[in-house]
Structure 1
Amino acid sequence: MKTDTLTVPGAEIYHEVRGTGPLLLLINGGDGDAAMFGPLAGLLAEHFTVVTYDLRGNSRSRLTGPPAEQRIEGHGHDAHLLLNAVAAGEPAYVFGTSYGGMIGADLLARHPGQVRALVAHEPFVVDLLPDADRWHALFQEVYERYEREGVDAAMQMFCEEIGVQGPPEPREDLPAPVREMLARLRVNMETCLAYELRSFVRFRPDAEALRTARFTLVIGGEGPKTLVHRTTRALAEHVGTGITEFPGGHVGFLTHPAAFAAALRGALRG
């Protein structure tokens, strides 16, 4: 595996490249970073040149200016610049989970020639819901709790409301790389709460761009039904497409990497 950083406006983007074959860009969401894709990327590297990275302002992708509200469109531009740097003009397969699926959709709409096919896993497109105003108000409350009581109280409220578990604590009995990743994710939670959540959930994908592209919308087939199940269905209606079930839940790529890799290969090569 090769690691490097790419200078983009306002940030240094840490990224990893492994494997050989057609280019595949994996885009994480929320407080995640490239390490969460480690098991999946290792399996996919047998078939693809896999690129993973930390979103700007998260983990090892440091900001080079003052922190400010972020938007999906800005992250889509980062993905565009990253592909320019590593792809040498080759279009890439793209997989994105949660916010990453939304970033992939923005990349596809603005730079369709860079995307060979897009698979979006449980995109958090809250603004497409009929009760979107209620959720926007709730996420403002989550932010205000973060300001008053800190990250733990805010994340507990957020996770309970949307029905998705947060990452575990970085316990001493865990392997060192896992502890280090969890420690980074904990810092990323603050970035998410302060600068991402309230603006990211107002993103509305370009339905026409998705209709005319190789686009697969997928959902975790296991576990309780959550808000991200609702948002995935809302996007399916918005675009007029079906939904494919993948193994596991919202982090099935981490809990079921082998089965998830097989499902993703099938969806990409469809």
Structure 2
Amino acid sequence: MKESVLEVPGARLHHFVRGSGPLLVLIGGGKGDATATDALADQLADSYTVLTYDRRGLSGSTTDAPALTVATHADDLSLLLATVTTEPAYVYGTSFGGLIALELTTRHPDQVGLVVAHEAPVTQLLPAPERTVANQDFRTAEETFRTEGVAPALRWYAKFLDLDPTDREPDNPQRTPGPDDVANATVLLAHDTPTIRTHTVDLSDLKSSPAHIVPAAGEDSTHIWPNKCARLLALHLGVRCQPFPGGHNAYTYRPRATATRLRQVLTRSYSS
């Protein structure tokens, strides 16, 4: 595995490349840095050149200017991709990572061949009552962080996303919190959560993009609003929403099952 740092405007992007084959970028959600996608990347590196990275402000990707828009994250990834390949890449993004993947697709469509967006919070697609609930979930996380701190705010995230860290593959132990966990969670709650809440996807550009866009949703998370966002995105694009095993965070809890399904989707979708 090759480890590098790329200087971009206002930040330094810490990233890793492993494996061989077509380039596949993995973008985690929440406070997840590159380590959050390690288990999934290891499952895929026999067939793909897998690129993982710390988003701006997380862990090794130090920054002088925290990202205040999803576009900044997408532009960061565009610059990173340009150093690795000149060909359109496969992109898998989940939750906030899915939102970044969609923004990359509209802003830099020539760099994306196929994007799998797993439960990306495209809240503008939700009916008004559910959109209000989603926005309030984010506002509650932000307010809880301001008044009570990181841990209670993360518990609220886990509640409205119905995250169950015990629902995992038996050989995939729970990650021990690292030294950057609190700092990464602070970035999520202070900067990324307001960014997600106020972001609007350009649906017209998304629909006209030359990239193949595959919305995906967890088989066990049909009761949460990010799952409905995925299904509504598929309806808007006129494509099928692809089912993935597990719930919202299955990429970390069930990396083997997620990798198996991702291989199927990449192969079948790209050849169709």
Establish whether TM, by shorter chain, passes 0.5.
yes
Structure 2 CA distance for partners of 1:201 and 1:127, relative to 1, 3 Å: farther
Structure 2 CA distance for partners of 1:180 and 1:137, relative to 1, 3 Å: closer
State whether residues 126 and 202 of structure 1, in contact with CA within 8 Å, keep that contact through their aligned partners in structure 2. no
More moved, 127-136 vs 111-120: 127-136
User: How many Å apart are 1:234 and its aligned residue?
Assistant: 2.8
State whether residues 126 and 135 of structure 1, in contact with CA within 8 Å, keep that contact through their aligned partners in structure 2. yes
C-alpha distance in structure 1 between counterparts of 2:257 and 2:137, whole Å: 35
The one-character-per-residue Cα deviations of 1:150-195 (angstroms, maximum 9, x if unpaired) are 112222233323433589xxxxxx98x94254x4333211111111
Structure 1 runs not aligned, ≥5 long: 168-173
- 1:143 alignment partner AA: E
- 1:268 alignment partner AA: L
State whether residues 3 and 17 of structure 1, in contact with CA within 8 Å, keep that contact through their aligned partners in structure 2. yes
> 2:192: which partner in 1?
196
More moved, 35-44 vs 156-165: 156-165
C-alpha distance in structure 1 between counterparts of 2:165 and 2:245, whole Å: 19
Structure 2 runs not aligned, ≥5 long: 167-171
> 2:110: which partner in 1?
113
- 2:114 alignment partner AA: A
Structure 2 CA distance for partners of 1:260 and 1:139, relative to 1, 3 Å: closer
More moved, 230-239 vs 75-84: 230-239
Among candidates 70, 94, 97, match of residue 91 of structure 2: 94
> 2:146: which partner in 1?
147
Matched-pair identity in % = 37
> 1:78: which partner in 2?
76
More moved, 252-261 vs 158-167: 158-167
User: How many Å apart are 1:241 and its aligned residue?
Assistant: 2.5
User: How many Å apart are 1:105 and its aligned residue?
Assistant: 0.8
The one-character-per-residue Cα deviations of 1:12-60 (angstroms, maximum 9, x if unpaired) are 1110000111111111121111111112111211111110001101121
SS in 1 for 2:180: helix
User: How many corresponding residue pairs?
Assistant: 259
State whether residues 95 and 104 of structure 1, in contact with CA within 8 Å, keep that contact through their aligned partners in structure 2. yes
> 2:219: which partner in 1?
221
Structure 2 CA distance for partners of 1:166 and 1:62, relative to 1, 3 Å: farther
Superposed, which structure 2 residues align to 1:31-180 within 5 Å?
A: 31-63=31-63, 65-67=64-66, 70-87=68-85, 89-130=86-127, 131=129, 132-165=131-164, 178-179=175-176
State whether residues 79 and 107 of structure 1, in contact with CA within 8 Å, keep that contact through their aligned partners in structure 2. yes
- 1:128 alignment partner AA: L
Structure 2 CA distance for partners of 1:207 and 1:66, relative to 1, 3 Å: closer
State whether residues 164 and 226 of structure 1, in contact with CA within 8 Å, keep that contact through their aligned partners in structure 2. no
> What is the RMSD of the two structures over their aligned residues, measured on CA atoms?
2.4
Structure 2 CA distance for partners of 1:261 and 1:161, relative to 1, 3 Å: closer
User: How many Å apart are 1:81 and its aligned residue?
Assistant: 0.3
TM-score by length of 2: 0.86
State whether residues 105 and 206 of structure 1, in contact with CA within 8 Å, keep that contact through their aligned partners in structure 2. no
- 1:103 alignment partner AA: I
> 2:201: which partner in 1?
205
Runs of 4+ in 1 over 4 A off after TM superposition: none
C-alpha distance in structure 1 between counterparts of 2:260 and 2:158, whole Å: 29
